[in-house]
Structure 1
Amino acid sequence: MAINLQKGQSISLSKEAPGLTKLMCGLGWDVPKSTDGGFFGAFKSTQDCDLDASVICLNQNGKMTDAGNVVYFGNLSHKSGAITHLGDNLTGAGEGDDEQIIIDLAQLPKEIVKLVFTVNIYDCIARKQEFVQVKNAFVRLVNISNNQELAKYHLSGSEYKGMTGMIMAEIYNHNNEWKMAAIGNGININGLEGLVKVYA
């Protein structure tokens, strides 16, 4: 049975799924077609909200050493083969996961000790969109070997007024034990480039 995480909570993946090596991170959200108010002023949005999920790979100093350590819609596979993004969802339409990322922990280079899962709104300034419009956002982890959902974290859009990007969760190695932490920190940035600068 999956553990429902609260913001700031963490669990041991090694204990929840001994021998875990390969997992799927699913991210989902719903976006209403029209929204009043918000950080950018009252408006009616007729455009779909395109949220982009990404993984930023960090070393023990919490730094991203090169551009190849970001996996997103423009770079769907990490150079090691350990992380694969299954593609971009432009609208958030449909049930279940909107974007999925496959991680093989055994293939990760030793210097990578933390994976940061982020989501940002594509072209947010021009489209006048922010996370307060996003509903039912979640991140979940599934053990691929038996399709067991290990953990799930639901986010509330109401606390993200003015935010255009979000650090949703982290998977990190601590004392040779893989853990997941629910982060849920909203940030006001313009695109993935702004998110990446946080870890440069």
Structure 2
Amino acid sequence: MQEWREVADRVRNTLLPIAVGTRTSHFLALVKAANLKLSTHLNFSRVILRGDTDPEIIYAAIPRLPPQDPDAINLIKLACYEYDRFRAEHAMAGRMFVLYGMCLGIPDGDPRWQTWECHHATAVRNADVALLGLRSAAARLQALLDAYDTAMSFPSGSPARIAWIKEAQSLTRSALHGVTTAAVMVRLMCRAVLRQYIAVCMLLGR
């Protein structure tokens, strides 16, 4: 029984950092940085479409970013890596607690167990939507960079350049939506994990 109690404690210790956000803080920082990089692309495209050529105007339109920052693609890759880590930890905690419940013979109809299952399922759904947002952003980011490269191959002010810049703008907005969705859903996941953690404590009687 002591061994299973240690398993239960490990579950609590895994869930708590996710619940309070310390485990996901680096992920959210990476997503925020990617959002800023994407905003740079969007602002730059607006300047081009306005026809501004003054370097000072162009410079002022671009948000100031720390030097030697990773580009948006690498930021999203790093965010995916961080996501995979805390998502795997959450999944492991879920599997371990199911085994703990089976060991103790907790019935499926126990309201406390059903509460835990409900919050666990909510956390998983939120995490899945966050991953879809990341994948969507990554795909559109590569496409928008290709669109910018194509646009720059045409003369300034030409219909072809304008059309490709507008396409890049659309892709940028979609990528921004993806990273924003990822951040929002991970925060919602944390809330669900907090409720899950409380349910674990109730089942453990502490």
Q: Give the TM-score taking structure 1 as reference length.
A: 0.25
Query: Which gives a bigger RCO, structure 1 or 2 (Cα 8 Å, sep 6+)?
Result: 2
Judging by fraction of residues, say which structure has more helix: 2
Under a length normalisation based on structure 2, what TM-score does the superposition of the two structures give? 0.24
Q: Larger % of strand: which?
A: 1
Task: Please say which structure displays the higher CA radius of gyration.
Answer: 2
